Amino acid sequence: MTMNLNKIVLTKILDIMPENLKPVTLLMEVLDIGKESAYRRLRGEKPFSMEEIYKLSLVLNFSLDEIISNDKSDAAAFNHIGTIRQNPSKNLLEFFRYYESYLQRLIDSENSEITCTLNHFLHTMFINYEHLFKFIYYRWMHQMTDVPLNYLYSEVVIPKEIKESCERMSFLNTKIRKLSLIVDNNLYLNLIKEMQYFYVRGLLNEIELDTLKVELHKYLDDTATTINKGINTTGTQIEIYLSVLYINSTTTYTTWDDSSESAFWHHYGYPIYTRNKEITARHKLWIDSLKKYCTVISQSNELLQAEFLNKQREYIDNIAVNILL
């Protein structure tokens, strides 16, 4: 790391850290280092590693882009959750904790908005649906962790820390004011095909599949109510667009105060994200371009609403009969 970049990091830390906390104490706790090592970093004698900057960015809620862009104007950094060396479950928990702080930041802002493009469901969409959340967790574990090929759905145990985080996120979600969703026409079908895959392989039994079927119907019923009213049960204003064309990426674009953030999911677990203004502006341009091929179905276009919802109910009803793989 250049000395200029290290100076930028120190300035950022000192500017935004809580007033009731000493800088040396913060560094010792977050970086798990001794007092002398912390003082050496504060004096600029020992540069921060990129991993240390990342840990500090999570705790103090600043973006790596804020650091990189100050050091080099044409550079852009993507933040990521966890490390490749860390247990994937710990990475997921780290994302959930980041997501809690993300929601709190939006709640604290007087003017915040979230726009999502969806071609598959995310963990965070099912935090109030026990069995659907478990399946998404299982699906992700099966792909991303070193479990046996014949790892059964029944063997999944959701860690206590993740359950507790879900409870906190559920509460924070009730405070979000505005959300826009651009939904792929095959959103439910993509999930159903995955359930069928594990069912056909014998990793998900008939009773478990039926339980998922019942809860997926409940989720769809709740979605139908939201579409009809334009708000969900907790009062969040939700605008839903149905895309005619395939949406090739699940993303979120968030604005609050004078800031913006773009997140891109490359798998179920957690995204890479950035606050680089050029990238977030391009992301917004892409989202706006998608709307040309979408129809708003929240509180409008009742015929299209009914067609979409009835088709999803048909998929769910036939989940164990009409194998679509």
Mean pLDDT of 242-261: 92
Tell me, yes or no, whether 173 lies in a domain: yes
Tell me, yes or no, whether 248 lies in a domain: yes
Q: Which of 46, 67, 88 is the last residue of a domain?
A: 67
Residue 273, Cα to own-chain centre: how many angstroms? 10
Return the pLDDT at 65: 63
- Which CATH number belongs to the domain containing residue 12 in this structure? 1.10.260
Same-domain status, 204 and 275? yes
- pLDDT tens across 180-227, in order? 999 999 999 999 999 999 999 999 999 999 999 999 999 999 999 999
Same-domain status, 287 and 312? yes
Same-domain status, 24 and 151? no
- pLDDT tens across 279-291, in order? 999 999 999 999 9
* Full domain range(s) for residue 255: 79-318
Q: Which of 40, 67, 94 is the last residue of a domain?
A: 67
Diameter of the chain measured on Cα atoms: 68
Return the pLDDT at 21: 80
The mean of the pLDDT values for the chain is 88
Same-domain status, 160 and 233? yes
Asked whether 182 and 291 are in contact (CB, 8 A), the reply is: yes
Return the pLDDT at 73: 47
* 67 to 50, 53, 81, 95: CA distances (angstroms): 11, 9, 17, 21
76: tokens are 């852009």
Return the pLDDT at 208: 98
Tell me, yes or no, whether 74 lies in a domain: no
Tell me, yes or no, whether 44 lies in a domain: yes
Containing H/E element for 253?
strand 250-256
Band of pLDDT at residue 238, cut at 50, 70 and 90: very high
Same-domain status, 50 and 185? no
Same-domain status, 159 and 302? yes
- pLDDT tens across 90-127, in order? 888 888 988 998 899 899 998 899 999 999 999 999 99
- Domains in the chain: how many in total? 2
**Residues whose CB falls within 8 Å of the CB of residue 323, separated by 6 or more in sequence, listed in order:** 196, 200
pTM value is 0.77
pLDDT at 2 over 70: no
Q: Which of 44, 67, 90 is the last residue of a domain?
A: 67
Q: DSSP secondary-structure letter at 321?
A: T
Asked whether 267 and 140 are in contact (CB, 8 A), the reply is: yes
Same-domain status, 288 and 197? yes
Same-domain status, 169 and 266? yes
Mean pLDDT of 51-76: 66
Mean pLDDT of 31-51: 87
Side chain identity, residue 238: I
